Amino acid sequence: MEKLTAVKGMNDVLPPHSATLEWFEASIRTLMRQYAYRNIRTPIVERTPLFIRGLGEVTDIVEKEMYCFEDRLNGDSLTLRPEATAGVVRAAIEHNLLYDGGKRLYYMGPMFRHERPQKGRYRQFDQIGAEALGFSGPEVDAELILMASALWKKIGLMDVQLELNSLGQPAERLEHRKALIAYLEQHEDKLDEDAKRRLYSNPLRILDTKNPQLQDIVNAAPRLMDFLGADSLMHFNTLTSILETNGIAFTVNPRLVRGMDYYNLTVFEFTTNRLGSQGTVCAGGRYDYLFEQLGGKPTPAVGWALGVDRVLELVKSDGERAVEPVLDVFVIVTEATAFPFVMKQIAMLRDLGLSVQMHAHSATGLGSMKSQFKRADSSGARFVLVFAADEMAAEQVTIKPMRDASLAQQTVPVQHLPIWARTLQSHD
């Protein structure tokens, strides 16, 4: 029979790495609570037009990377979400979420893009994002950047760099687009096939090319920043002033454009040089026109998203965090007939807040006391409780410390276990 394996680029997350993921998610939840952002959860599957209208028909994601399929019941075209912002905006419009004012939201979950798997980039990947809906000022752009910067500090990543740019407003981008097309037409014979394809459909994306043979051309191209009006420049300058006052280092990158069509004004990326070509770990910007594109009322908005896999690659390269959950108690049972009574004691310990793992039958039986202690030691438990025949006959249990040599082994009446458990917790 053929061995079944996971789909290429869609990976299992196994212990102990799953503990690192849980630690990171817990760090995110703490951070979001500190910044007063609330959780939102949207479906993994959305109607395909949501992403075509939201991301742009000529973006790489829509053209090449989406997983689309037909609903067997009604023939609708459905898509596994390649990103979450469009779904968050759709939910806000559908449920009139902003009826009483702006909302600060965050999400975490899997996204799907059909691209070549490589380090830090998979076809199913976890993404965490923050979205501030209904706020137009640059102070909220700054708040989101400060939040991401606080996250790097919280998890110990110190070599992440911030790049900023402004895409201005649509009319300003239109004037820049005309100048950019005219400039690139002069060098059309030197453009690669991808750039030629985008020359008239999405020329701004050519500035983000990774082709080294085009770097001199794009470096000399007209800069969007030079086409910005007074209001757009004030927005950007206020943002940079806030960041400077708060000690956030950044570089203005006039070629930073992002991959979705919905951005305007502020765009930013946090990058690293430790992940090869996949150097962006968190990115976002302002998308004040997306609500209208998706059928809602004009609503300013700004947000970011980070790739969990990429961030954890950086964490791993710094040395895997010691975040494996601490096990309080490992329970050794020598007689199968004792399980009903022992499991009642275990339930009591868990109700009191302790984490407890019980030894159980394997294919070869319960195993010897020696083999059970070996398993207890490898579990990392702080204490072992031994329910052996002699102790059970006397209604006692032996408590053996496994990690603290200053503590002595003791045998206590079973009825005293709640007192011991509460004492243990009071010392933590």
The secondary structure of 291-306 as a DSSP string is: HHHTT-----EEEEEE
Report if residue 119 sits inside a domain.
yes
Instruction: Please tell me whether residues 294 and 407 are part of one structural domain.
Output: no
Is residue 292 domain-resident? yes
Are residues 411 and 287 part of one domain?
no
- Whether 10 is in a domain gets the answer no
User: Which domain CATH number covers 359?
Assistant: 3.40.50.800
Please state which of the ranges 199-213, 298-312, 406-420 shows the lowest mean pLDDT: 199-213
Q: Of 35-49, 135-149, 199-213, which range is least confident? A: 199-213
* Residue 26: domain span: 17-168+228-317
Nearby residues of 197 by Cβ (< 8 Å), 6 or more positions away? none
- Domain final residue, candidates 261, 286, 317: 317
Confidence of residue 366 (pLDDT cuts 50, 70, 90): confident
Considering the domain boundaries, does residue 12 fall inside one?
A: no
Within a domain: 378 = yes
pLDDT at residue 95 above 90?
yes
Task: Determine, yes or no, domain membership for 134.
Answer: yes
Mean per-residue pLDDT for 366-378? Answer: 86
3-state secondary structure at position 52: helix
Does residue 216 lie within any of the structural domains? no
Q: Which of 280, 286, 342 is nearest to 313 (CA)?
A: 280
User: Same domain, yes or no, for 233 and 137?
Assistant: yes
Say whether pLDDT at 274 is over 90.
Answer: no
Pick from 57-61, 239-243, 331-335: least confident: 57-61
Give residue 391's pLDDT band: very low, low, confident or very high (50, 70, 90).
confident
Give the model's pLDDT for residue 322. 47
What percentage of the chain reaches a pLDDT higher than 90? 54
Stretch among 111-115, 176-180, 318-322, 385-389 having the lowest mean pLDDT: 318-322
CA 271 to chain CA centroid, nearest Å: 15
CATH (domain of 40): 3.30.930.10
Q: 257: burial class by Cβ within 10 Å (0-12, 13-18, 19+)?
A: buried
Write down which residue in 256, 286, 317 finishes a domain.
Answer: 317
Average pLDDT of 189-200?
Answer: 85
Question: Given this model, what pLDDT does residue 289 score?
Answer: 93
Mean pLDDT of 133-156: 95
The answer to whether residues 244 and 362 belong to one domain is no
**pLDDT > 70: what percent of the chain?**
94
Domain co-membership, 333 together with 235: no
Poorest-confidence range of 23-27, 125-129, 272-276, 373-377?
272-276
The tens digit of pLDDT for each residue in 229-240 reads 999 999 999 999
In whole angstroms, give the CA distance from residue 240 to residue 372: 60
> Where does the pLDDT of residue 46 fall: very low under 50, low under 70, confident under 90, or very high at 90 and above?
very high
Look at residue 187 in the predicted model and tell me its pLDDT. Answer: 86
Residues 308 and 342 occupy one common structural domain: no
Q: Which residue has the higher pLDDT, 195 or 30?
A: 30
The span from the CA of 351 to the CA of 410, in Å, is: 23
Q: Are 390 and 301 members of one domain? A: no
Specify if 55 maps to a domain.
Answer: yes
Q: In this structure, which long-range contacts are made by residues 146-149, counting pairs with CB atoms below 8 Å and at least 24 apart in sequence?
A: 146/243, 146/246, 146/248, 147/31, 147/35, 147/37, 148/270, 148/282, 148/304, 148/306, 149/248
280 shares its domain with 371? no
Residues 138 and 270 grouped into a single domain:
yes
364 and 312 fall within a common domain: no
- Structural domain ending residue among the three candidates 259, 291, 317: 317
Confidence of residue 399 (pLDDT cuts 50, 70, 90): very high
The total of structural domains in the chain comes to: 2
Together in a domain, 296 and 386: no
Please report which confidence band the pLDDT of residue 412 belongs to, taking 50, 70 and 90 as the band edges. very high
Do both 236 and 146 map to the same domain?
yes
> Has residue 107 got a pLDDT over 90?
yes
